[in-house]
Chains A and B, each alone.
Chain A
Amino acid sequence: MKRLGGPAGAALACCLASTATAGEIETGGKLLLTHGVSALEGGAGGGLATWAVIAGAETNRGVGGEVHGTYVDVKDYKLRAFGGAVGWHDRLELSATRQEFDTGATGAKLGLGKGFTFKQTVLGAKVRILGDAVYAQDSWVPQVSVGAQYKDNSQDAIVRAVGAKDDKGVDVYVAATKLLLSQSLVLNGAVRMTKANQTGLLGFGGVNGGYKPQFEGSAGYLLSKRLVIGAEYRTKPSNLAFAKEDDWVDLFAAYAVNKHLSVTAAYVDLGDIATFKNQRGFYLSLQAGF
């Protein structure tokens, strides 16, 4: 197909792709929800927590991907995130996400100005290193992936002013995912080495320290092949002197409308954020993919 050029070539390529033969790149093929949904930081996961699955509906012979838009509305803040991820051969995942943390009226109380918005770009890479979460039902070995996220906060002066050491940081993590088909359960655990304050939205490091291991866990129950409900827990460091940072909890439901579209809704409790207490509210995320 490389020899063909121009619009005619592109048109032909589009139609040949639907009748892929050996050696060509395939798309699709995974079972519903077996690639998770989009986590807040852009990779495949459950919402707040990271999973070991690779984004996209591709199998070991193809390429997949998804785009997502996420909206979180808690008492004093709003968070918008949007981005995308590509999966290659169900082995490698690359993701990019933009997060906007809108302080709204709270911004004025924090002395940042009404409607002040923290912004952050997260670039992620994840590699599946062993196991298969779906097929290996005769073994306790989970699917295990390792990943890294490079986070760049665009408000360096502000995050330094609140006591963070850096406006950029790298998280590294190991994640394990196991689907227990005979119990209709999906279990996830991840350990993340991070110095990010509120995932990096409030910078990285601080007087209380730098890199610390944090845990992310989630458990889901499959009500049908389209619907999973569950809970997540994510521990957080507390590096900043001016405000304590709490662990995050959510109760979620993820629904696959079809092979290309899924919706995740959750009730989230993000605890105290920047001295404002009990940040509870809802989380809504839409994913479209192939």
Chain B
Amino acid sequence: MRKTFVLAAIAAFTLVGSAFAQDATPPGEKPVDPYTPSPANAGAAPLTDPAAFQAFHGKEGLTRIAGDLVDRSIADPRIKDIFATTDVPRLKRTLAEQFCYVLGGGCVYSGRDMAAVHKDMGVTNRDFNALVENLQWAMDKEGVPFAVQGKLLAKLAPMQRKVVER
């Protein structure tokens, strides 16, 4: 009991320590270094046609897709090493926000920009394409029609220039 209390106190202290960077670290996530949140960090302007967002089954559908994409990728022998130190809950949350934002779902993207997130990860085109394949799998699983999947992929594809380092 006492041990739990001490751990909670340490956790609380850590949260307070990071409170200057972000208002609060969401539950289950690790603190991050300070940065300035901005819609521009999402890396693409939002779609204006609401039909695509509906075909992804809204924020709930995108949350499932982001979750499946991350779960599959952290188990994918091609790219799992890249995610070895990743804060998985945070990645799932910010990815869902990013997808929702660029599809015009009105979400706020609270994450960092693509160049900052992927700095020094050594991501290759091969890795990038592996992630795209996993995203296609997750979109298929959610039942998103192929023609609508292209709307999201078209928004994400140009991020290759910021993500791929070598």
Contacts and interface: CB of A to CB of B under 8 A. Distances in A.
Interface of A: 22, 26, 28-31, 59-62, 90, 132, 134-139, 180-184, 222-225
A167 to B, nearest CB: 42
A181 B146 CA distance: 10
B91 interface: no
B160 A184 contact: no
A59 B78 CA distance: 14
A225 B146 contact: yes
In order of increasing CB-CB distance, the 7 nearest A-B pairs are A29-B126, A181-B154, A59-B125, A182-B154, A138-B158, A135-B160, A137-B154
A183 B146 CA distance: 10
Interface of B: 44, 122, 124-126, 129-130, 132-133, 136, 146-147, 150-151, 153-155, 157-158, 160-161, 166
Nearest to A62: B126
22 contacts: A22-B166, A30-B129, A31-B129, A31-B132, A31-B133, A59-B126, A60-B125, A61-B125, A62-B126, A135-B160, A136-B158, A137-B153, A138-B44, A180-B154, A181-B151, A181-B153, A182-B151, A184-B146, A184-B147, A222-B146, A225-B136, A225-B146
A181 B159 CA distance: 14
Contacts of B160: 132, 135
A16 to B, nearest CB: 16
B145 to A, nearest CB: 10
Nearest to B126: A29
A79 B133 CA distance: 37
Contacts, number: 60
Main secondary structure of the interface of A (DSSP, over half): loop
A182 B150 contact: yes
Contacts of A135: 157-158, 160-161
Contacts of B133: 31
A90 B124 CA distance: 13
Nearest to B122: A22
B125 A183 contact: no
Nearest to B147: A184
Given A134-B157, A135-B157, A135-B158, A61 B146 contact: no
Contacts of A183: 150
Contacts of B132: 31
Most A Cβ at <10 Å: residue of B125, B155, B158: B125
Nearest to B127: A29
B126 A61 contact: yes
Contact of A59 (B124, B136, B147, B153): B124
